[in-house]
Amino acid sequence: MTEDEMWRAVRDCDASFDGKFFYGVKTTGIYCRPSCKSKLPKRENVVFFSTKEEAEKAGFRPCKRCRPDLIEYDPAAELSRRTKELYDSHYSDRVQLGLDMKKMGVSRKHLTEIFKQQYDITPSEYLVQVRIAAARQMLQDGSSISDAAGMTGYENLSEFYDHFRRQTGMTPARYRQIFADNISRSVLETPIGPLRIIASKDAILCVEQAGRESLDAGARAGSIPADRILSGDASGDLVKDCKAQLGDYFAGKRKNFDLPVSPEGTDFQK
């Protein structure tokens, strides 16, 4: 390999040459991989080495950015991992997250490319997943929707609602209701598709279409077990009775229902 070929690899940050040679920068005393993203040095200040041992013997120190001294080191994987850790740690603090991301010294476009290569998802998509996962837990624990949005980094409620629905297949209000302590729920397969039944101890709160797309979204988000029938509780009995009456209805054995419903009625009634 000629020095001209090696210089082109350095100039192009060509990772396919990593491990085949190293280059040192005379003005800094640092040696790097061909794929190093540091500022391109002047050609006259560059010297090439076949191995990292040669570079170190000549008095050059390993670059702290591309870590040519670590054979298994993958700069793209490391940058993606650090980004993921920042999102996991600071998803709720937009200001701190922005400051930490700036310190990484990489463009949004480049970060998006390498992050997607590593995790098959963009950084923005991953951040949404982290925030909504945290919001789901807060809603399960009884937090208000506004608190769940604000404490997971959302400044705009409409954006929160949009992201939440995309991740779980339902609104935050419906999700919170499903996880209330005194609520029973179950999904019934019917000729018109799956129906989700939700009941309190006093009445049927909801009979709604639980479309396959919605169920799949919920499963991907790890959000909603299909059934939660409280044993020895009136809400559980109501759900069971509702499933039985719906079964009779779709079998042509029943035309009317004799179950208490919430004042708002249900989607099924409408």
- Where in the chain are all domains bearing CATH 1.10.10.60? 75-168
- Nearest Cα neighbor of 31 from 63, 58, 66, 71 is 63
| DSSP one-letter string for 160-181 | HHHHHHHHHSS-HHHHHHHT-T
Which of 73-87, 122-136, 170-184, 227-241 ranks highest by mean pLDDT? 122-136
The CATH number given to 75-168 is: 1.10.10.60
**Residue 32 annotated to the active site:** yes
d(CA 219, CA 215): 6
- Where in the chain are all domains bearing CATH 3.40.10.10? 3-62
Dihedral of CA 173/178/182/188: which sign?
positive
Output the pLDDT for position 215. 43
Q: Higher confidence at residue 134 or residue 266?
A: 134
Q: What is the mean pLDDT of residues 10-22?
A: 86
Q: How far is CA 82 from CA 19, 107, 159, in A?
A: 23, 15, 26
Output the CA torsion 194→200→205→211 (10° steps).
-20
Whether residue 268 is predicted with pLDDT greater than 80 in this model: the reply is no
Q: How many helices (H) and strands (E) does the chain have?
A: 11, 7
Of the candidates 13, 32, 206, 242, the residue annotated as catalytic is 32
- Reduced to 3 states (helix: H, G, I; strand: E, B; else coil), residue 18 is strand
Output the pLDDT for position 163. 96
Q: What class, spelled out in words, does domain 3-62 have in CATH? A: alpha beta
pTM of the full structure: 0.53
d(CA 137, CA 122): 23
Output the pLDDT for position 250. 94
Output the pLDDT for position 106. 80
> Is the Cβ–Cβ distance between 234 and 189 less than 8 Å?
no
Q: How big is the chain, counted in residues?
A: 270
d(CA 92, CA 81): 19
Q: What is the mean pLDDT of residues 236-246?
A: 94
- Nearest Cα neighbor of 241 from 258, 224, 266, 264 is 258
> Is the Cβ–Cβ distance between 110 and 76 less than 8 Å?
no
Q: What is the mean pLDDT of residues 54-78?
A: 86
Backbone φ, ψ for residue 79 (5° rounding): -65, -40
